[in-house]
Chains A and B, each alone.
Chain A
Amino acid sequence: MEVKAQGSIKKTNLLFQDIIDALAAHDHRIQERIYTHYWGYLMGVASRYIKDRNVAKEVVNDSFVKAFKSMYDFKRPDDIEDFQKTFKAWLAKITVRTALDKIRINKSPLNFVETYENLYVDHVEINNKLHVDDIMKLLYYLPDLHRMVFNMYEIEGFNHEEISKILVIPSSSSRTYLTRAKQRLRELYIKTNEIANGNSR
C-alpha cells in the first residue's frame, strides 16, 4: 500500500511540475491535463451548490474557461506542494463563485424558506459511516441560502464577512443561517437514522 501511495504522490508531483513549467512557457497543451485532473474535484464542489447535474457540468466548464484565461499569470513557485494547494483552492473558489452566479441568473433573488422545527440539537455523533450520496441528499433538503452558507463556511473556508459580501446579506444573517443549517442537518440525520433503525428492527 505504501509503495502504491508513494507512486501516486510522485505522479502528482510530476503533473504539477509539468503544470508549473507549462504556465511559465504559456503552453496551452497543459489545459487538457488540468481539466481531466480537476474535473472530478470541481464537479464535487459545483454539485454542493447545484442539484441539476447538467447545470453543475456547465458551471465546471465555465470555471475552467475563467481559470484557463488567468492561470498563466501565476508566478513560478519554488514549492510544488504549496502550488498544488493554492492552485486547487483557487479553482474551487472560482467554481463556487461561478455556481453562485448561475444560481442568481436562474432565480433571483436567493430564496429563503423557513421550515425548521423548534428542535434544537447542538451535538450529534456519527453512529454509522457517512456516505457522500446520503449527505448530499440531506444538503439538498436545506433552503438554498442555508446550504450555500454552510458549504462556503464549513467546506470552502470563507469567513462570514466574505460570505456576506458575496451573497449580499448581513454577516449576522450568515451566522444565523449557518447555525440553522447545522441544526437542520443534525435533525435530518437523527430522523434518517431513526427511520433506518426502525426498518432494520
Chain B
Amino acid sequence: METPDKKELIDGISALLKAHEEPYEPGSWENFSKQKKGKRPAIFTWISIAAAIALIFTAIPFILKDKNIEPTIVNIDKVKVTPLEEVELIVKATRVVKQKKIELKEKNRSNQAMNSVQPSVNSQIASSSNEDNDVNPETPKTPEQTPATLKPVQEKDFMKFLQNETKVAHVKEKKSSKWNFGVELLPTVLQSKVNLGAGITTEFRLSESFSISSGIAYVALDASKNPGSNSGSDFAPNSPTAGLANYASNKRLVSTNANISGIDIPLSLTYNLNKKLYTSIGVSYFNVLTETRNNRYITELEVSRTHKDPETGIMETFQTRLAEENAEPSPESPLKGNSYLGFFNLSIGHKQEVFKQYNIVIEPFLKIPVGKLSNEDLQLSNGGVKLRFTF
C-alpha cells in the first residue's frame, strides 16, 4: 500500500490505486448468493404471470372475432401452460442462429479479411496507448492496452464482449432520462368494428425493468348491443279511414348502437421482458364526453279489416301482417358524465429503435370495462394495436 519516494504525485496515485485491493469481508459471498436465490423466483413468477395474462387477453379479441367459443377455451389452456418457455425458446433460438451465422462468416473469411476486422476492433486500444503516451508516458499499460500479448481468437472474443458492454452502456445513456414521451394512434376493434383514437403518453422509469406509464387519449367507441328478445310492445287502437278496422302493432328493439367518445387516462405498470419486449398491466379512467344512441326497431303491424258485402250481407274479415324497420335516436345517455368509469388494461408491446433516439412501439392491448361500464348493457370490452412513437 505504499509507494517509493520521489515519484510524481499523479504517477504515484495511479500506481497506488492500481495495486489497491481491499481485504475480503467474510460473509460477502453468503449474502451475495442469498440475494441471488431470493430475488430470482419472485421475478420469474411475476414474469410468468404477466406474460401469461398478457398473452391470454391479447388473444381473446381475435378469437372472439371469429365467434368461436370452443377454441377460446382450448387456446387459453395452451397459453397458460407455456407462455414464458416459448418466449425464452425464441430468444435462445435467435441467439444460437446469430452465433452460428457469425461463426460461419468467420470460417469463410480469409486471413486477410480477419486482419482487416481486427484493427478496427483494436483501434480504440491503439488510440488509448497513444493518449497515454502523450499525457503520461510513465503510466503502466493495462492488459487491454497490450493486445499483442494475447492470442487473436481469445482477444477477439474479449473485445467483442467489451464492445457489447459499451453498446449496452450507450443505450442506457440515451435513456438516462427517467422520462419518456410519445404520441400514439389507437386502432381499436370492438365487436368487429374498427374505431380510432389518438393520444400522448409519458413513461417514468422506476428501474431497468419496471416503469410507470400514463397519458391521455381521445377514444371513440362504436358499440352495439343485440338484445335478442322483445323489449316491449305497444298496442294502440286507432280509427281507420273506412269501415271497421283494428290493428295491433308490435314494436321490437332489434339493436342499440352507441357512439361514445371520451378521454381515457391510463395508469400502467410496465415490465420490460428484454430491451424490445414488455408487458403492461393497469387501469384507466374514462370520462365520456359525448354519447349518442340509436335504437333500431322492427315494428310489426297486424292489421285486420272487416267489412260487410253489400250484396250478400256477409261480414268478411281480412288479416295481414306488416313489418317495418326503423331507427330512432334515443334520448338516453346513461354513460355521459359518469366519473367512475374505467377499464382494466392489459397489453404486450414491442419496441423498435429508429434514428438512434426514437422508438416505434407496436402494442397489442385489451381493455375490459370495470365499475359502471361493466354493468352497462353495451359490450365495451375492446382490443386493438397501439402504434406509438416515443422520444
Interfacial chain B residues near A178, Cβ < 8 Å: 135
Nearest CB of chain A from residue B125's CB, rounded to whole Å:
8
Flag if A93 contacts B1 (CB, 8 Å): no
Flag if A155 contacts B18 (CB, 8 Å): yes
Give the size of the chain A interface in residues (CB under 8 angstroms).
Answer: 66
Which one of B8, B14, B143 lies within 8 Å of A125 (CB-CB)? Answer: B8
Binds B, one of A1-9, A10-18, A100-108, A112-120: A100-108
Closest B residue, CB atoms, query A101: B172
Flag if A135 contacts B169 (CB, 8 Å): no
Task: Report if B308 contacts A (CB, 8 A).
Answer: no
Summed over the interface, the residue pairs from A and B with CB atoms below 8 Å come to a total of 162
A158→B135 CA distance, assembly (Å): 13
Task: Report if A55 contacts B (CB, 8 A).
Answer: no
A66→B130 CA distance, assembly (Å): 30
Task: Report if A186 contacts B (CB, 8 A).
Answer: yes
Flag if A86 contacts B145 (CB, 8 Å): no
Flag if B162 contacts A130 (CB, 8 Å): no
A177→B139 CA distance, assembly (Å): 18
Flag if A82 contacts B150 (CB, 8 Å): yes
Which one of A61, A93, A129, A160 lies within 8 Å of B131 (CB-CB)? Answer: A160
Flag if A157 contacts B128 (CB, 8 Å): yes
Flag if B14 contacts A126 (CB, 8 Å): no
Q: List 25 A-B contacts (CB under 8 A).
A: A32-B29, A35-B32, A40-B24, A74-B154, A74-B158, A82-B149, A82-B151, A85-B143, A86-B154, A86-B158, A93-B162, A104-B172, A108-B177, A109-B176, A126-B5, A126-B6, A127-B5, A130-B3, A132-B16, A135-B16, A158-B128, A159-B131, A162-B128, A165-B166, A185-B9
Query: Which residues of A come within 8 Å of B, CB atoms?
Result: 32, 35-36, 39-41, 43-44, 47-48, 57, 61, 64-65, 70, 73-75, 77-79, 82-83, 85-86, 88-90, 93-94, 97, 100-101, 104, 108-109, 123-132, 135, 151, 153-162, 165-166, 168, 178, 182, 185-186, 189
Query: A129-B3, A154-B14, A166-B169 known; 19 other A-B pairs, CB under 8 Å?
Result: A32-B29, A35-B29, A39-B22, A75-B154, A77-B151, A82-B151, A85-B143, A86-B158, A88-B143, A93-B162, A94-B165, A104-B176, A125-B9, A127-B5, A131-B1, A159-B128, A182-B10, A185-B9, A186-B9
